[in-house]
């Protein structure tokens, strides 16, 4: 298989990441099916595409023809069977829970054509923890986008010991077709590059807030103005989802059993209250 064989892309999950990954692929000219177990999420994703594309045209960032093409290319389909049945490349962007991902990959292995590559957009989980749920481990890899996926240029591609050279190459080529800058990791590590670096920063920021040394807002002011980051760690957590911060810390703790990997008290408090950031309109900040 080479990149020219990729015509149909299926994106699993219409949430924070999935809806924008699907749109990236549609804008690059691929036929895209986006699926989710929640009809509400699919409706929201479709509404986003229908408002985002005309906005880009009005801003002069897209031609009308490109916007129309992307909308024609993009379908929102509730049935996994229908969405993945003819896919050449599948990008899974479902919730960050190992068992859900393993079950999804087992289903995808049954549904997607045998030549299809199945990639996970997991934020932390390496694909070798998922590949053995399928009978095509050579065609499994990580393809990790950043939020907001329409804007952020980087994609991390991780080639596990089971991933073939061909799968890694097609994935790198796909990143280029999407206009992304890709880094290829040939050794698996939990959290890859960026989220490991980011979580070191977030862990310290949470420690300072948990200790009452400064508020999340003060820490964000310090980081943005001293380090030049476009967002401080708390506003960024609101963007990526405090639920994701909670799940990933739990996943990490369950593997390591190291108390320092447990989610911070502030993350637990926000998670339990359902204040998960921008997606729930309240996190460390409130949103209209």
- Applying CB under 6 A, among 77, 106, 150, 183 the residue interacting with ligand 3HC is 150
- Applying CB under 6 A, among 37, 95, 152, 193 the residue interacting with ligand 3HC is 152
Q: How are strands ordered across the β-sheet holding 117-120? A: 74-76, 31-35, 8-12, 89-92, 117-120, 140-145, 154-158, 181-185
Nearer to ligand 3HC, 33 or 120 (CB): 120
Please give the size of the binding site for ligand 3HC, defined by CB under 6 A: 16
- 14-29 burial, b if ≥16 CB within 10 A, otherwise e? bbbbbbbbbbbbbbbe
Largest CA distance in the chain: 55
Annotated ligand binding at 279? The verdict is yes
Nearer to ligand 3HC, 67 or 236 (CB): 236
Contacts to ligand 3HC from residues 48-107, by CB under 6 A: 59, 61
Region from 36-44, 109-117, 140-148, 258-266 binding ligand 3HC, contact rule CB under 6 A: 140-148
- Applying CB under 6 A, among 28, 77, 201, 231 the residue interacting with ligand 3HC is 231
Nearer to ligand 3HC, 230 or 259 (CB): 230
Q: Of the listed 73, 123, 127, 199, which one is catalytic?
A: 123
In whole angstroms, what is the distance from residue 150 CA to residue 59 CA? 15
In whole angstroms, what is the distance from residue 282 CA to residue 274 CA? 9
Annotated ligand binding at 147? The verdict is yes
Nearer to ligand 3HC, 61 or 260 (CB): 61
Q: Of the listed 144, 162, 199, 275, which one is catalytic?
A: 144
In whole angstroms, what is the distance from residue 12 CA to residue 19 CA? 9
Annotated catalytic residue 229: no
Annotated catalytic residue 123: yes
- Applying CB under 6 A, among 65, 99, 151, 212 the residue interacting with ligand 3HC is 151
- Enclosing H/E stretch for 41: helix 39-58
Nearer to ligand 3HC, 164 or 224 (CB): 224
| 31, two tokens | 């036929």
Could you tell me the CA-to-CA distances from 104 to 75, 111, 169 in Å, in that order?
A: 20, 10, 24
Could you tell me the CA-to-CA distances from 266 to 207, 216, 238, 273, 283 in Å, in that order?
A: 9, 10, 13, 11, 11
Residue 112, Ramachandran bin (φ over 0: left; ψ between -120 and 50: alpha; else beta) = beta
Annotated ligand binding at 36? The verdict is yes
- Enclosing H/E stretch for 185: strand 181-185
Annotated catalytic residue 156: yes
Q: Is residue 270 within 8 Å of 276, Cβ to Cβ? A: yes
Region from 4-12, 178-186, 212-220, 229-237 binding ligand 3HC, contact rule CB under 6 A: 229-237
Residue 198 in contact with ligand 3HC, rule: CB under 6 A: yes
Residue 227 in contact with ligand 3HC, rule: CB under 6 A: no
Annotated catalytic residue 195: yes
Residue 28 in contact with ligand 3HC, rule: CB under 6 A: no
Q: Is residue 219 within 8 Å of 233, Cβ to Cβ? A: yes
Binding site for ligand 3HC (CB under 6 A): 59, 61, 123, 146-148, 150-152, 195, 198, 230-231, 236, 240, 244
Report, as residue numbers or ranges, the catalytic residues. Answer: 123, 144, 156, 195
């Amino acid at each position: 298989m080479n990149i020219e064989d990729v015509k149909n892309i299926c994106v699993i999950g219409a949430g924070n990441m999935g809806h924008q990954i699907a749109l990236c692929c549609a804008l690059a000219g691929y036929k895209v099916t986006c699926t989710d177990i929640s009809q509400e999420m699919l409706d929201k994703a479709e509404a986003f595409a229908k408002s985002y594309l005309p906005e880009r045209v009005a801003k002069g960032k897209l031609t009308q023809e490109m916007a129309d093409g992307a909308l024609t290319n993009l379908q929102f389909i509730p049935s996994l069977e229908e969405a993945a049945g003819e896919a050449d490349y599948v990008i899974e962007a479902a919730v960050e829970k190992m068992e859900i991902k393993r079950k999804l990959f087992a289903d995808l292995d049954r549904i997607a054509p045998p030549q299809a590559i199945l990639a996970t957009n997991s934020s932390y989980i390496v694909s070798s923890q998922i590949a053995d749920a399928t009978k095509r481990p050579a065609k499994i890899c990580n393809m990790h986008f950043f939020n907001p996926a329409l804007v952020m240029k980087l994609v991390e591609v991780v080639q596990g010991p089971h991933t073939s050279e061909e799968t890694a190459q097609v994935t790198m080529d796909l990143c280029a077709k999407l206009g992304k800058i890709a880094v290829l990791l040939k050794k698996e590590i939990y959290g890859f590059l960026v989220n490991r670096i980011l979580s070191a920063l977030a862990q310290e920021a949470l420690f300072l807030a948990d200790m009452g040394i400064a508020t999340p807002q003060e820490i964000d002011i310090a980081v943005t103005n001293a380090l030049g980051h476009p967002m401080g760690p708390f506003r960024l957590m609101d963007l990526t989802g405090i639920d994701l911060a909670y799940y990933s810390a739990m996943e990490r703790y369950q593997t390591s059993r190291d108390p320092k990997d447990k989610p911070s008290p502030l993350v637990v408090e926000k998670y339990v209250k359902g204040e998960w950031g921008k997606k729930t309109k309240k996190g460390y900040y409130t949103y209209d």
